[in-house]
Chain A
Amino acid sequence: MEGEGGGGAAVRWWCSARLGEPWTWQWQAYPGVWLFVLSLGATYAWAVLRLRPNGQPTSDIAPDKRPTSAREIALFSLGLAVLWAGADWPVGVLAAGYLLSVKTVQYLLIGYIGPGLLLLGTPRWLLRRMIRGRVAFAVARALTRPLIPLAVANGVLVATHLPVVVDNLSGSQLWTFVLDLIVIGTGFIFWWPALGRLPELHAMSYGARIGYLGLNLFLPTVPASFFTFSQYPIYALYELAPRVSGISAVADQRVAGLLMKTCGGALLFGTMSVMFFRWYRHEADAEPEGVLTPSAQGGEGRRA
């Protein structure tokens, strides 16, 4: 990590702040990011191709009969692409040392959207295999209860945005890597109760999931408000970084606050809406046929 902030001769494997170096749109390679994304993809491909619920190889099963759907593979691939976009150049470098607004975008990508897609793209049978162990099952069970994920997700959100953390650790590739991993891992913890992928873990009802997401809609408002309404920059890192496209540090910080509130809010609100309609459909499907319900006009009954 030493010498990372300085000259360009040092090998850079993960996107960290290039302290004091003017921003350039010249592409730079970050092999650590590629390796990370490829490892995830390769592990998934191996699991999907070589494993099946009962542990037998799937090589002799026709592709359309395999227990992992094309939709799941597509979602997982999309999740990987989102993680890659959020961690690699240019987003990763801009986020690490130049623009707080891009750091916010990165947080949404690698801390919310990416993990959510990866979780949706992981087939249930594979999730079950992953938590077969007693400890893993106990952890998965505990995380299904919303209070722990709520506390972890918002605790990590606040901790990774503390000035002492951002200003002192962003210049180190190792620390940036660790923090990015924590953010990604927290994304899985955040979505676990909300997506309720394994019913046997006593997943929450749709209403409770909507309530859980609603709470998460509210809590990030606090840091977002700090960003939006602070008169001066909060982070020395972004305040003293060479300017990118002439945007001032305060303007950048306000954009970050607005992005956190609007885009983060839209993501959660959109998910809540989908859940609401699923809930509605679920209730409608569960309703017995032939039940008479009064019409809005109070006249003749209609068949539901």
Chain B
Amino acid sequence: MSRSLLALVLAGTASGSLAACAPGSDREPEDLRGYLLGEPLAKPEFTLTSTDGTSFDFRRATDGFVTLVFFGYTNCPDICPVHMSSLGTVVATLDPRVAERIKVVFVTTDPRRDTPAVLHAWLDHFSPSFIGLTGDSTTIVRAQESLKLAPAVIEKAAAGDTGYAVGHSALVVAFSPDNQAHLVYPFGTRQEDWAHDLPELVRQGWRARAGAAPR
């Protein structure tokens, strides 16, 4: 993503409700490494197209799972492949009973280039279990807005130019089994951080974390 676009997206994100989650702010609970949201986010309802071409009801298909949602695009040169590679590596090393309770959902912010087939091939490079979603731009923008993320910005490109960049949020939004997102993970989250938090979220959930309810 170009730096100007990234700055724009980060600025938009910071002005939203995620402002309280900037690095350096208080993390709750102490033993998790993601950044706590000021107010938990309810899992939104939207339906997009999965990589096999079928309709994917996000809310229903991920109900009760630890769900990691990320908005990006397959031509992204930096943030998207690093996030997906980190998650792919960590999910592959987790106890299968833990891993099967985690859904990683990648929603493209570049539906023009990211067809289901393109998404499928790209995500398979990281993990065959990852879910790729595409669809119309309006639904994708609404989905981002429902998670308080600044909508992605597509760089202006000449007609027929397929080398454009897309500015997008670098946050991975993490839903607990209670279908609420309490945590987000910025770019820079290490694999060992994921490996620490994901089993916790699967085994403990959020409600079970006595005294750790979001304040």
B residues near A249, Cβ cutoff 8 Å:
85-86, 89, 191
Is B188 part of the binding interface, using a Cβ–Cβ cutoff of 8 Å? Answer: yes
Question: What is the 8 Å Cβ interface bit string for chain A, positions 214-239, against chain B (1 contact, 0 not)?
Answer: 00000000000000000111001001
Q: Which residue of the partner chain, among A6, A231, A240, A243, contacts B188 with CB atoms under 8 Å?
A: A240
Is B88 part of the binding interface, using a Cβ–Cβ cutoff of 8 Å? Answer: yes
Whole-angstrom CA separation of A22 from B76 in the bound complex: 9
Question: What is the 8 Å Cβ interface bit string for chain B, positions 173-191, against chain A (1 contact, 0 not)?
Answer: 0000000000000011011
B residues near A242, Cβ cutoff 8 Å:
77-78, 81-82
Query: Is the pair B77, A22 in contact by a Cβ cutoff of 8 Å?
Result: yes
Whole-angstrom CA separation of A240 from B83 in the bound complex: 8
Residues of chain B in range 2-61 having any CB-CB distance to chain A below 8 Å: 3
- Min CB–CB distance B83 → chain A (angstroms): 10
Query: Is the pair A232, B77 in contact by a Cβ cutoff of 8 Å?
Result: no
Interface residue tally on B, bucketed by range: 10 to 19
Whole-angstrom CA separation of A21 from B88 in the bound complex: 22
Query: Is the pair A233, B78 in contact by a Cβ cutoff of 8 Å?
Result: no
Whole-angstrom CA separation of A7 from B78 in the bound complex: 15
Given A232-B190, A232-B192, check contact A240 B90 (CB 8 Å): no
Give the tally of cross-chain contacts (CB within 8 A).
Answer: 46
Is B112 part of the binding interface, using a Cβ–Cβ cutoff of 8 Å? Answer: no
- Min CB–CB distance A264 → chain B (angstroms): 26
Query: Is the pair B191, A233 in contact by a Cβ cutoff of 8 Å?
Result: yes
A residues near B192, Cβ cutoff 8 Å:
232
Residues of chain A in range 7-53 having any CB-CB distance to chain B below 8 Å: 7, 20-22
B residues near A236, Cβ cutoff 8 Å:
188, 190
- Min CB–CB distance A255 → chain B (angstroms): 15
Is A248 part of the binding interface, using a Cβ–Cβ cutoff of 8 Å? Answer: yes
Question: What is the 8 Å Cβ interface bit string for chain B, positions 107-142, against chain A (1 contact, 0 not)?
Answer: 000000000000000000100000000000000000
A residues near B90, Cβ cutoff 8 Å:
232
A residues near B188, Cβ cutoff 8 Å:
236, 240
* Chain A interface (Cβ < 8 Å from any Cβ of B): 6-7, 20-22, 231-233, 236, 239-243, 246, 248-250
* 24 chain-A/chain-B pairs, Cβ below 8 angstroms: A7-B3, A22-B78, A231-B93, A232-B89, A232-B90, A232-B190, A232-B191, A232-B195, A233-B191, A236-B188, A239-B190, A240-B187, A240-B188, A242-B77, A242-B78, A242-B82, A243-B81, A243-B82, A246-B125, A248-B85, A249-B85, A249-B86, A249-B191, A250-B191
